[in-house]
Amino acid sequence: MTEQQLDATSHLQPDETSLRYEGWRIVAVCFLVATFGWGLGFYGQSVYLAELHRVHRWPASLISAGTTFFYLFGALIVVFVAEAMRAFGPRTCMIAGLLAMACAALVLGQVRELWQLYLADALLAFGWAGTSLAMITNTVSLWFEHRRGMAISLALNGASFGGIAGVPLLVFAIGHLGFAMTMTLVAVVMVGVVIPIVACSVGRPPLQGGGPKAVPASARQVRKAALGDIAFLSIAIAFALVLFAQVGFIVHLIAFLDPVIGREHAALALSLLTIMAMLGRVLFSAVIDRFDQRLASALSFVSQALALAVIINSHSEVLLIGACVVFGFSVGNLITLPSLIVQREFDSMSFGVLISLVTAITQVTYAFGPGVVGALRDLSGSYTLPFYGCIGLELIAAVLIMVRGRRVHA
């Protein structure tokens, strides 16, 4: 190989271990985007449910059905994230998602009728597709190949930070400024601060493999092959079931804890849960390459089931908050693990399309979590029945994730 060819190869393969590598700036931007994406689109749903129920006295099942609609509609959009990024680029897609989320925040603050809530959830779905898992993992994959797992884990810590900072700030601001003013301020911050940061920081990705632009076959062919592969289906279905349980529980957590330990302590429990989600992901990312990622997933599912059993059967504030902490330790990892397993077991050139597909499948499934939990709560008069159902799903998922099928490549 000539000296010129060596120089060209070095240019095409940047040093991902260097702190000066531009990819780490992208990780920081994705962290910020994920903070707002999960803070408003995921953890914020728990605040919206409790606040709208308090103000309008609408049944929990009707409000949480709006959350179900949000996830279902979002899943239809998420599956095409990889193609959208190839067509328009990560910066344009991210900005579009942030704009949609800002509009959703404005509409949420003005909700007076149920149909307006569904309109807000539709806008929020577009924002979620442009700021959450598929967008973050696909964007990071455009800058990283060898350190992709760590980069994705660090970027997705923004999801946990969205719960740590977002929920207490929302609850505090709503208490002092009111719901409408709080949501307006959130929209202003997104448009005035976050979007300019994305516009100035996210440029053209380096010319390397592993990102969505490198998919060798059409996205349709990749999806068709994956849906006939037991190894892929065991990942998608297991995480769909466990996220159904996890999302259903988290969305209703404040409403469940409010009458037992009060609104502020309930918000504290949710914040501690998300702090542990971040801590768990950081600790896990440092050692996960040394372990069987499917087995680690199964153990995480079981730990959540045990924590839920304690929450259902305890009235002690210390035990309740402690169980939320235990539950939270694996919350962040359940967002990251599908990406890490897919990266290890499947062709890296199909990574973007496969992650978008996993995200869509899991989202379609866990979209029903809040609605089903809310409906069972209204029918039974308490959260005991739906939360025991969540335990059952966690245990089924722990068994299913160990069904490996055939390996796609060595």
Residue pair 29/35 in contact by the 8 Å Cβ criterion: no
* Per-position DSSP letters for 224-283, written without gaps between them: HHHTT-HHHHHHHHHHHHHHHHHHHHHHTHHHHHHHHH-HHHHHHHHHHHHHHHHHHHHH
- Report the C-alpha gap between 180 and 108 in whole angstroms: 8
Residue pair 374/385 in contact by the 8 Å Cβ criterion: no
Residue 6 has a pLDDT of 40
Residue pair 54/173 in contact by the 8 Å Cβ criterion: no
Angle at 326 between CA 252 and CA 53, to 5 degrees: 10
Fold of domain 22-400: Growth Hormone; Chain: A; (1.20.1250)
Domain regions of the chain by residue span:
22-400
- Report the C-alpha gap between 371 and 96 in whole angstroms: 28
Give residue for tokens 């271990």: 17
Residue 14 has a pLDDT of 64
Residue 180, Cβ density class (10 Å: 0-12 exposed, 13-18 middle, ≥19 buried):
middle
274-296 CB burial, b ≥16 within 10 A, e <16: bbbbbbbbeebbeebeeeebbeb
Q: How far is CA 218 from CA 144, 353, 359, in A?
A: 22, 9, 18
Counting every residue, how long is the chain? 410
- Report the sign of the C-alpha dihedral through residues 273, 362, 84, 232, in that order: positive
Residue 385, Cβ density class (10 Å: 0-12 exposed, 13-18 middle, ≥19 buried):
middle
Q: Is 334 helix (H, G, I), strand (E, B) or coil?
A: helix
- Report the C-alpha gap between 23 and 144 in whole angstroms: 7
Residue 12 has a pLDDT of 52
Residue 406 has a pLDDT of 58
Residue 60 has a pLDDT of 74
Torsion of CA 130, 134, 137, 143, to 10 degrees: -60
pLDDT of the chain, 410 residues: tens digit per residue: 444 444 444 445 566 667 678 888 999 999 999 999 988 988 788 788 888 888 888 887 788 788 878 888 988 888 888 888 888 989 999 999 999 999 999 999 888 888 899 999 999 999 999 998 889 988 988 888 777 777 888 898 888 788 778 878 888 898 889 889 999 999 999 999 999 999 999 888 874 444 444 444 577 788 888 888 898 999 999 999 999 999 889 878 888 888 888 877 888 888 788 788 888 887 877 676 677 889 989 999 999 999 999 998 888 888 988 999 999 888 878 888 888 888 888 876 777 788 888 988 988 888 788 878 888 988 988 888 999 999 999 999 999 999 886 554 43
Lookup: tokens for 272: 């501690």
- Report the C-alpha gap between 385 and 252 in whole angstroms: 13
Distance, first Cα to last Cα, the chain: 28
